[in-house]
Amino acid sequence: MQAPPTSSGSRRRRVTCRRLPQSAKVPPPPRSRAPQGGRRLSLGFSPRLPRSLAGRRARAERRSRRRFSWLVGRPASRAAPSSPGQPAARYCLTMALSNDDEALINRKLPKELLLRIFSFLDVITLCRCAQVSKSWNVLALDGSNWQRIDLFNFQTDVEGRVLENISKRCGGFLRQLSLRGCLGVGDTSLKTFAQNCRNIEHLNLNGCTKITDSTCFSLSKFCPRLKHLDLTSCISITNNSLRSLSEGCQNLELLNLSWCDQITKDGIEALVKGCNGLKALFLRGCTQLVDEALHHIETHCHELVILNLQSCMQISDEGIAGICRGCHQLQSLCVSGCTNLTDASLVALGLNCPRLKILEAARCSHLTDAGFALLARNCRELEKMDLEECVLITDNTLIQLSIHCPKLQALSLSHCELITDDGILHLSSSTCGHERLQVLELDNCLLITDVTLEHLENCHNLERIELYDCQQVTRAGIKRIRAHLPDVKVHAYFAPVTPPPSVGGTRQQLCRCCIIL
């Protein structure tokens, strides 16, 4: 009997397979004969099939696996009925790929549900799923799955064309994009991005040093919904960028201009007139800012919650007082490195900003106990204070904080050399010490001893203590507090003791190298 003819006119050869009865036994392979005049070779393993036959069998097995399903926990083969000793149900993922590339999971679940599942995956996992099949490629690269993208881990590989391709793929779906540290991104690619992704709300350009005012012009022209913009260390940004943003991005709520040192009071004036809904403004390292810039913020930004003025060394008490009068919602203020500030700034904060939670005033060496006492009595919501190098404060500040600030969680007193064990006693025995205090930094507090560590044993929520160069703290004291608070992290460094000066007056005090230097 012949096979039916094919479309090409050729005929297929009939293949017949004869099945042996179950009672028949398969004869064993013939045993190799020993060569004449010698012994039979014993290689220690069964003879292998020829390479051509083994290759054909392997290829046939791979084809079989592709055509049938693969099961989790067992090789791809025909699923046999479960035996009594095995569980009746198995968790399996059936691919069953046919010629039309339709998997069982794609047939059973609607595309809307598959897209919902894919929306929980990160960038790397989505890229892997896109390589599974054609249908998964379409699902994984759907724009709805790329609403939030963080490319920080790929910063060395991201170039302008990569950003352009992402913007074309995502389009109006993209809401948040982080290009932090992507040095290869410039104005041209960001212009294409702005044109394609007009619904962008959060954009992080921290460290993208190639961008200029042209990028801000493109964003103001095409991205009116922008709310958060981070331009940290974009050193080419000038006042023109702020003018553009004030015209086209009036929904801005957070703007980070840290270390953009070309920004002046004129740029701040233009910005706040158009973006008067700002809630967070970061101006760290903008060294050209003066009090007049803060007066513009006072006039227009009444909803401001976070203000960072670190290292703005031209700021004085007058500017801080103006901010306090106009921004009553202020909850976080950083004036670290503003060395001209005095207790007048603390008085203004205490009288006008009762919701203050975070105050960073490191290196403000003119602040005293009187200013912090008034601040503590009026700002009872304080949770974090950085008072590093406020060298004039004493235990009285800690007494006022322990009485009036029950929510205090983190306190830095590094280089406050007038703090003693008595101040820590009041702090540790207060409500905040018992229930809230988590971080305490006491670096270079020379009067602190092991008695402080005994007092801190009452702070049950304490997580970290900094004790660098506290020369009167011993290893035994650290060991005792670790025994009472096993989860606390104590960071300490024991500097070598300075040798006493020599008795002989004629002996040279400095070595020859030091004299030369």
Average pLDDT rounded to a whole number, residues 280-299: 97
- Report pLDDT for 107: 81
The pLDDT of residue 368: 97
Output the average pLDDT for the chain. Answer: 83
Which whole number is the average pLDDT over 154-171?
89
Domains within the chain, CATH numbers bracketed: 113-145 (no CATH), 412-494 (3.80.10.10)
DSSP one-letter code for 274: H
What does the pLDDT average to over 271-286? 97
- Is residue 454 exposed (0-12), middle (13-18) or buried (19+ Cβ within 10 Å)? middle
> Higher model confidence: residue 356 or residue 93?
356
3-state secondary structure of 506: coil
Work out whether strand 439-441 and strand 464-468 pair parallel, antiparallel, or are unpaired.
parallel
pLDDT: is 201 or 18 the higher one? 201
pTM, two decimals, is 0.76
Q: Please state, in angstroms and rounded to a whole number, the distance separating the CA atoms of residues 260 and 100.
A: 56
Per-residue pLDDT at 239: 97
pLDDT band per the 50, 70, 90 thresholds, residue 28: low
* Residue 57 pLDDT greater than 90, yes or no: no
What token pair was written down for 423? Answer: 């101040």
The H-or-E segment that residue 108 falls in is helix 104-108
Greatest mean pLDDT range, 124-128, 153-157, 274-278: 274-278
First and final C-alpha spacing in the chain = 107
Confidence of residue 133 (pLDDT cuts 50, 70, 90): confident
Q: 449 by DSSP, 3-state: which?
A: strand
Summarize the confidence of residues 33-49 as an average pLDDT. Answer: 40
Lowest mean pLDDT: which of 74-78, 375-379, 446-450?
74-78
Instruction: Identify the burial level of 48 via C-beta atoms within 10 angstroms of its C-beta, where 0-12 means exposed, 13-18 middle and 19 or more buried.
Output: exposed
Spell out the SS3 assignment of 279-295.
Answer: CEEECCCCCCCCHHHHH
Residues of the chain with pLDDT > 90, as a percent, come to: 65
DSSP characters for 382-434?
--EEE-TT-TT--HHHHHHHHHH-TT--EEE-TT-TT--HHHHHHHHTSHHHH
Write down the pLDDT at residue 251: 96
